[in-house]
Amino acid sequence: MPPLRIRVGETFILPRDGVVTVVERYIGEVSGSPEEMMLLDLRMPGRGIVEGIPEMVAVRTGRPLMSRSAARQVLAIISNRMEPLLDTPAKIRTRRAKKVLAERDPITMAKYLREFIVRGEGRTRVPVRPSIDETVMRRNLARALCEELEEVLKAPDEQEYLEGQPCERALMGMVRRMNPAPQKEPVKQYRTIFNGYSNLQIAAEFRALAKEVKRARTVEHPEKRKDITARHIALMHVLDSRIRS
């Protein structure tokens, strides 16, 4: 990541405050300090202009906005329903997500947001109704990412990533929109087929699906993605039943 540049009009990220913009830069005194230092007046979300922030603090804790390529990576992570979820206890998952939110790393935030979205839609091996803490965390992660995405994806062609929707709503629906949910019947048919597979064949099928997901024809055709998702879910059902038996 490039070094943070501090100048009037520059927008960057402060982990505790989110997206901030430099309004003024000047030499002044801070209460309790005998020396003059470079200070900043910053525009912060929901707080207006906050005056007298030491520049050295901003340089030490802040970071530049994510790049356009990182923004596209964030959207790709959120829209990927094929990646399996870890069976982490809810309290541990929420505690880790709070730490990630405080650090404001966009890629890691995207991974946790995707997990909360998928779990909230009941697409896990053991569907569980999300707790209030998880629902709040999902909303806070989406809001934090959107503050930054809206600063980065400003060009008309880049706004198409959000399909004209408010950012938070677009992120919440991205898993469903990018990877259409299959009907129950195809999953049932594939499950019948995969029940006859050996464990080695099951493993080979998982590897084949992982390759197929990355092909251009898969990205471009919703029906192809729907079929792959049906196969993936059927494989998970078969694998789960064998583990539990």
Length of the chain measured in residues: 245
Global pTM?
0.65
Pick the CATH number of 68-178 from 3.40.720, 1.20.58, 3.30.1560, 2.60.40: 1.20.58
Contact call for residues 104 and 144 (beta carbons, < 8 A):
yes
Backbone angles phi, psi at 93, to 5 degrees: -60, -45
Interval 171-193: pLDDT, tens:
776 655 545 556 778 888 999 99
Residue 111 pLDDT > 80: yes
CB 231 within 8 A of CB 204: no
Helix (H, G, I), strand (E, B) or coil at 207: helix
Backbone phi, psi, residue 140, to 5°:
-70, -40
Spatial CA neighbour of 107 closest among 66, 140, 136, 147 = 66
Dist CA 45 CA 43 (whole Å): 7
pLDDT at 104: 92
Query: pLDDT tens-digit profile of 2-26?
Result: 678 888 888 999 988 889 999 998 8
